[in-house]
């Protein structure tokens, strides 16, 4: 097999951790696999570099920030290559420019356009290990760019696609994706497989194990991702294309996000364009609106309710109060003590009654549903935050996700 292995900042965070990471590379080579490696900067290094820059200038030039922080991965790539060579493995570090990673010219948030990697393929065919810096590339003028925080996952998937790897192994500090948060539900099970679509829905709910862009790219090119632990040599969760051989429970997992706030603007005139009036200023302020519900209009007036991240609650409330005044609305009400709970599963498409099961389970526990929103493979409810654990546990049981004693 040809494998791209990706190691994050904690996996190269110290010389001791680099040695443990080299063990993982060596083990895959010993199994006869061809290995390319993608690394992040040593944990803490990127923040150290940015700290120096912002001490010089509170808003330092983005071109220079990218040139500065790109050194972080170059250091960890060289150190890992040195450790691999120390073990007799022919390993060679490559920074973004050397690896042929061409990106857009958007500093701090560049997008990979292409990877010219014939030289890396030659290494792989020769049983050698290219160690490539994640997170970075160069634009068409040769300026150093970075992909934004977490971009190393995307680098790894893009490299796996470019070298036609069989799988992209992403090593993290968790050992896979669980049916729900094991800290809340002791019977949570590690999933063997999850579809790209489900993974994206999980990620959007704050289960930030994989960077969303990396999953989107893997889905586009049908590159399997093996999400696995850098601490234990055990199988993790495969993120793959949905296909017929997959287990088809109605629901694969239950996700939640506590950090939500809900805002309602009451009694505003219901005319075309009113939603743009409400959400225009919020978008301009860079605030992400998530769930939106608009009541049926009564006598030409309507109420709009939506959620925002809790950290944006105060700013959004102020925008809405101003708007309410200018639109002669009736009132603005807010609640920064709400949470979202979702059930997710590609099986939902073919299984009727998921919504009914969900609402019944919550009703049985006395959990009041404040808002509901649905997508093709997800149903989300907004509830009072204090009910989160109760709701997650009851849904996990209701959808038969609880592990049997054997599975634990």
Which H, E and C letters describe the chain, residue by residue? CEEEEEECHHHHCCHHHHHHHHHHHHHHHHCCCEEEEEECCCCCHHHHHHHHHHHHCCCCCHHHHHHHHHHHHHHHHHHHHHHHHHCCCCEEEECHHHHCEEECCCCCCCCEEEECCHHHHHHHHCCCEEEEECCEEECCCCCEEECCCCHHHHHHHHHHHHCCCCEEEEEECCCCCECCCCCCCCCCCECCEEEHHHHHHHHHCCCCCCCHHHHHHHHHHCCCEEEEECCCCCCCEEEECCCCCCCCCCCCEEEEEEEEEEEEEEEEECCCCHHHHHHHHHHHCCCCCCCEEECCCECCEEEEEEEEEHHHHHHHHHHHHHHHHHCCCCEEEEEEEEEEEEEECHHHHCCCCHHHHHHHHHHHCCCCCCEEEEECCEEEEEEEHHHHHHHHHHHHHHCCCCCCHHHC
Of 60-68, 211-219, 237-245, 302-310, the window that binds its own copies (rule: CB under 8 A) is 60-68
Nearer to its own copies, 53 or 249 (CB): 53
Nearest-approach distance from CB 104 to its own copies, in angstroms: 18
Residue 97 interacts with its own copies (CB under 8 A): yes or no:
yes
Interaction residues for its own copies, span 356-385 (CB under 8 A): none
173 annotated as a binding-site residue: yes
Would you say 316 is a known binding-site residue?
no
Residue 148 lies near its own copies (rule: CB under 8 A) = no
Q: Which of 23, 57, 173, 331 binds its own copies (CB under 8 A)?
A: 57
Q: Report in angstroms how near the CB of residue 130 gets to its own copies at its nearest.
A: 12
343 close to 396: Cβ distance less than 8 angstroms: no
- State yes or no: residue 143 binds its own copies (CB under 8 A): yes
Confirm or reject binding of residue 89 to its own copies (CB under 8 A): no
Options 3, 12, 39, 65; binder of its own copies; rule CB under 8 A: 65
Stretch that binds its own copies, among 65-73, 308-316, 319-327, 332-340 (CB under 8 A): 65-73
Q: Is 77 in the site for its own copies (CB under 8 A)?
A: yes
Among 19, 31, 271, 408, binds its own copies (CB under 8 A): 19
Q: Which of 20, 43, 71, 229 binds its own copies (CB under 8 A)?
A: 71
Q: Is 8 annotated as a binding residue?
A: yes
Q: What are phi and psi of 287, to 5 degrees?
A: -100, 130
**Of 33, 34, 40, 74, which one interacts with its own copies (CB under 8 A)?**
74
Closer to its own copies by Cβ: residue 15 or 283: 15
Question: Is residue 183 annotated as involved in ligand binding?
Answer: yes
* Given 44, 60, 105, 148, the residue binding its own copies (CB under 8 A): 60
- Numbered residues of the known binding site for ATP: 6-9, 172-173, 178, 183, 208-209
- Numbered residues of the known binding site: 6-9, 46, 73, 172-173, 178, 183, 208-209
Q: Rule CB under 8 A: which residues touch its own copies?
A: 15, 18-19, 49, 52-53, 55-57, 60-61, 63-65, 67-68, 70-71, 74-75, 77-79, 81-83, 85-86, 92-93, 95, 97-98, 142-144
């Amino acid at each position: 097999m040809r494998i791209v292995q990706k190691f994050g900042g904690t996996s190269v965070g110290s010389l001791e951790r680099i040695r443990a990471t080299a063990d993982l590379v060596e083990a895959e080579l010993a199994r006869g696999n061809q290995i390319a490696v993608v690394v992040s900067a040593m944990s803490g290094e990127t923040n150290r570099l940015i700290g120096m820059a912002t001490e010089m200038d509170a808003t330092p030039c983005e071109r220079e920030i990218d040139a500065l922080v790109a050194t972080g991965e170059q250091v960890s790539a060289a150190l890992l290559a040195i450790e691999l060579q120390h073990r007799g493995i022919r390993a060679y570090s490559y920074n973004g420019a050397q690896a042929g990673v061409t990106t857009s010219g958007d500093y701090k948030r560049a997008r990979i356009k292409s990877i010219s990697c014939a030289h890396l393929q030659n290494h792989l065919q020769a049983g050698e290990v290219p160690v490539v810096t994640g997170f970075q590339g160069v634009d068409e003028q040769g300026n150093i760019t970075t992909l934004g925080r977490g971009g190393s996952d995307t680098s790894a998937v893009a490299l796996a696609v470019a070298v036609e790897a069989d799988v992209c192994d992403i090593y993290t500090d968790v050992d896979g994706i669980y049916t729900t948060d094991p800290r809340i539900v002791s019977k949570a099970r590690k999933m063997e497989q999850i579809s790209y679509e489900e993974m994206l829905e999980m990620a959007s709910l704050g289960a930030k194990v994989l960077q969303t862009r990396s999953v989107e790219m893997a889905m586009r090119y049908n590159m399997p991702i093996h999400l696995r632990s850098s601490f234990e040599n055990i199988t993790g969760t495969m993120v793959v294309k949905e296909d017929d051989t997959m287990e088809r429970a109605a629901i694969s997992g239950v996700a939640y996000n506590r950090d939500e706030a809900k805002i309602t603007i009451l009694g505003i005139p219901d005319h075309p364009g009113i939603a743009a009036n409400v959400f225009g200023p919020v978008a301009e302020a860079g605030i992400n609106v998530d769930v939106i519900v608009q009541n049926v209009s009564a006598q030409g007036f309507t109420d709009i309710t939506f959620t925002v991240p809790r950290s944006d609650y105060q700013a959004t409330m102020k925008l809405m109060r101003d708007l309410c005044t200018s639109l002669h609305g009736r009132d603005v009400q807010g609640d920064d003590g709400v949470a979202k709970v979702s059930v997710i599963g590609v099986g939902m498409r073919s299984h009727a009654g998921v919504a009914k099961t969900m609402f019944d389970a919550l009703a049985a526990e006395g959990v009041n549903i404040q808002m509901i929103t649905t997508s093709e493979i997800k149903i989300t409810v907004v509830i009072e935050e204090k009910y989160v654990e109760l709701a997650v546990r009851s849904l996990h049981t209701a959808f038969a996700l609880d592990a049997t004693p054997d599975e634990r």
